[in-house]
Chains A and B, each alone.
Chain A
């Protein structure tokens, strides 16, 4: 599967080498004397500017969104982590044993780790954390969903946490690897929600020491750090004294601030800025990694007209010519994907031939489906009704280049007679349109570090809205064989069986024309050449600063 820039290593030097050849060339061209890997230097302040927005609570157990995970990952650590292939590796846990019936999971914990408030990390701490996530008063949405099959947890001995499950869960360790299920000091949790939201206490290389709302969060070094994740370049405390975590919502300002040296690292780069920063001698570098979960894709609402007719869905997919647009609008920074799963998520399967462009076939299918006449504007009609497809676009989630791509899809599908109506909406309105099934096609992001994301997105159970009104199955797919494959894949722990089941599920989706995959959702991190040793933690492609340092 194509990965644009394969940069998911954790070692400092490896990440510099593999991040992109351009970056390395840039380094040596700009500063030839510094081209040899230097010895890390301790000290200094790094300024990070995020475009993901400011969390309303720093404890990722509460709610559970990307801004919380980003700022929290360098403070709060998880039981497990993942390597660049998506395989589970231990972190605060040293391993896990699953019983034969799959209903009991013993998680063994590493000895000698303490939270930064001095509280020891042990099985009681794990129990306190899981109970905190499952407590309705915590108002968790991400963690509580990931723990859906966990009935209870107990401390079997001081270093063994025993999870009792209501049904087998092959994704449990992947779930526990997410920052939204990170381990926090039980003493910290006991302070109550307001205090814990202002500064949760973890085991990580940094601690939360200040939060000036709308301005920055200050992270300072944990001098007693001992729990580096697998693949880290060094053990022990971080090199940086502190990280100033700033919130700069506008992407152009963010990049300008990087260019003028006011900040050292930025996220959410625009495609043109990625090209500029990757250029030789620019003085900057770019780290990219595919966010796990679903690829960025169009979901066709198969529950309602006109896409309740498979022929109309196929005609849409055969006429939506996206490759030229991806090439021109993204300047070659992303590759076309033919898989519903992100390239960093295991068991992705590509079905390129299902997405071939064929306008003649599209026209034939639409004729066959009864959309035979055309109105004055050239759109197809049936019984006096126009072939209209409403397309609500979240302006929070879709970057400008993506919106332009959707405009090109509108144009290319118009040739065969579709009237695609684009509706740019703010986040709340967009979710409102989705909840009301008031759309023909839409594009939604779903980040999860497990192929189990397919069950969330395409199992018929998830057509029914969650109590909040949100239904992840936007395609309104309801196929018994698909449900069976997804349920079984979520329960079996045999890798070969999982692979076969997930491939079967993806084949059903591709052949039924429910989804049009576009490209991976990329984490795009720009950094100044002064910053060394920066890497992305593979679990959620979040920058890891435990190895980072600032060169003179």
Chain B
């Protein structure tokens, strides 16, 4: 058990190191000068002295591998460094922005689950037509790009009906459209795998034996089939977390919501290496944590996994 946990931690550390390293070098492969990010953005006509001063201040005049090792050394002590463009500690910036993004992601995941479960139960119960309609809805929802869905929702609910604000406002009303934009496609994905799994379960011997024991139809569905049907959905939720964060880049930009996604987009455009790596690391850490959590939840939902360990 202890060995297993140690391997888990080592795996997590490896993921974080790989994410930091890939991002660090990836940003150097694309054109752009981080020193200019400090001096008012790309295309600035900064003087040689100003550029030299900035390069020395941030260590950009050192060879790349020296910069990399120094950076890793600092990361090892938990120091994410300072943003080139915002002139603020990266940890401070992320701390200020992470709440909004986590709230958005968590609510979207919850809403997606509710929609997907409802759709799976309804469409497996309602016969052929319901199955066809459910399947079609899921495919359409899963295929819709975020930016398109966001614009349609704004057009319908803000511009035409005027029910909801088009841009984020403090308070729950401003969250509705961003959450729906992220939740609907995700519900499509989750619904597809869950419905398949529910259909499989309905054919499975344990359902037959439950029925033979005299379990009611509702009892069969809620106690046995749904638990089975939810398993791939739970497994998929780890993946969904990463997917929601990438969706947050689009959604936060369109709805003008403060958050990590918008921070990341601006940082990439300015080649703000410490800030990009910082956000990537935090997201990778979140991914690791969520994966561990979904493992645990799977064990609770699926007795077979418990007996196996």
Are B159 and A63 in contact, CB atoms less than 8 angstroms apart?
no
The answer to whether B32 and A253 have CB atoms under 8 Å apart is: no
| Closest A residue to B39 using CB positions | A139
Across the interface, do A253 and B256 meet the contact criterion of CB distance under 8 Å?
yes
Interface presence of B255 (CB below 8 A): yes
Complex Cα distance, B50 from A224, in Å, reads 37
B120 proximal to A (CB < 8 A): no
* Segment at the interface with B among A29-37, A258-266, A496-504, A518-526: A258-266
Q: Per a CB cutoff under 8 Å, which of B48, B258, B268 touches A212?
A: B258
Is there a chain A Cβ closer than 8 Å to B162's Cβ? yes
Determine whether the beta carbon of A56 is less than 8 Å from that of B85: yes
- Whether A479 sits at the interface, judged by CB under 8 Å, is no
The yes or no answer to A99 lying at the interface (CB within 8 A) is no
Please tell me if the beta carbons of A137 and B43 are within 8 angstroms of each other in the complex.
no
Q: Are A470 and B167 CB-contacts (below 8 A) given A139-B54, A250-B254?
A: no
Contact check, A139 vs B165: say whether CB atoms are below 8 A apart.
Answer: no
CB distance from B155 to the nearest CB of A (A): 7
**Interface membership of B96, Cβ < 8 A:** yes
Asked if B49 is at the interface of the complex by the 8 Å CB criterion, the answer is yes
Given known contacts A467-B47, A468-B45, A468-B46, is B256 in contact with A262 (CB within 8 Å)? no
Given A56-B85, A141-B50, A427-B43, residue A260 in contact with residue B166 (CB < 8 A): yes
Interface status of B33 (Cβ within 8 A of chain A): yes
- Which chain B residues lie closer than 8 Å to A65 at the CB level? 40-41, 44
In the bound assembly, the distance between CA atoms of A430 and B41 in angstroms comes to 13
Whether the pair A432, B43 counts as a contact (CB closer than 8 A) is: no
B226 at interface, CB cutoff 8 A: no
A194 to chain B, nearest CB (A): 7
In the assembled complex, which residues on chain B have CB atoms less than 8 Å from the CB atom of A41? none
CA–CA, A237 to B41, complex, Å?
34
How many cross-chain pairs have Cβ atoms below 8 Å apart between A and B? 153
Decide yes or no whether B244 CB sits under 8 A from chain A.
no
Residues B162 and A248 in contact, CB atoms below 8 Å apart: no
A300 proximity list for chain B (CB < 8 A): none
Contact indicator A429/B31 (Cβ below 8 Å): yes
CB of B270 within 8 A of CB of A428, answer yes
Name the residue in B97, B155, B256 with the highest tally of chain A Cβ atoms < 10 Å from its Cβ.
Answer: B256
Chain A nearest CB from B211 CB (Å) reads 52
How far is B97's CA from A249's CA once the two chains are assembled, in angstroms? Answer: 17
| In the complex with contacts A62-B40, A246-B167, A470-B45 CB distance below 8 A | yes
Q: In the complex, how many residues of chain A place their beta carbon closer than 8 angstroms to a beta carbon of chain B?
A: 52
Identify the closest chain A residue to B32 (Cβ): A428
Cβ of A466 < 8 Å from any Cβ of B? yes
Beta-carbon contact of A63 and B39 below 8 Å: yes
| A446 nearest in chain B by CB position | B43
Judge whether A248 and B39 touch: CB under 8 Å: no
Bound form: Cα–Cα A139–B39 in Å: 6
Q: Which single residue of chain A is at the shortest CB-CB distance from B41?
A: A65
Residues 430-465 (chain A) with a chain B CB within 8 angstroms: 430-433
- For B51, list chain A residues within 8 Å (CB): 467-468
B33 touches A429 (CB 8 A): no
Binding site for A on B (CB under 8 A): 30-33, 35-36, 38-51, 53-54, 85-87, 93, 96-97, 151, 154-155, 158-159, 162, 165-167, 169, 253-256, 258-259, 262-263, 266, 268-271
24 contacts between A and B (CB under 8 A): A49-B167, A49-B256, A56-B41, A56-B85, A56-B87, A65-B40, A136-B49, A139-B38, A144-B47, A194-B87, A213-B93, A214-B262, A252-B154, A259-B159, A260-B159, A427-B41, A428-B33, A431-B43, A432-B31, A466-B46, A467-B51, A468-B44, A469-B33, A470-B44
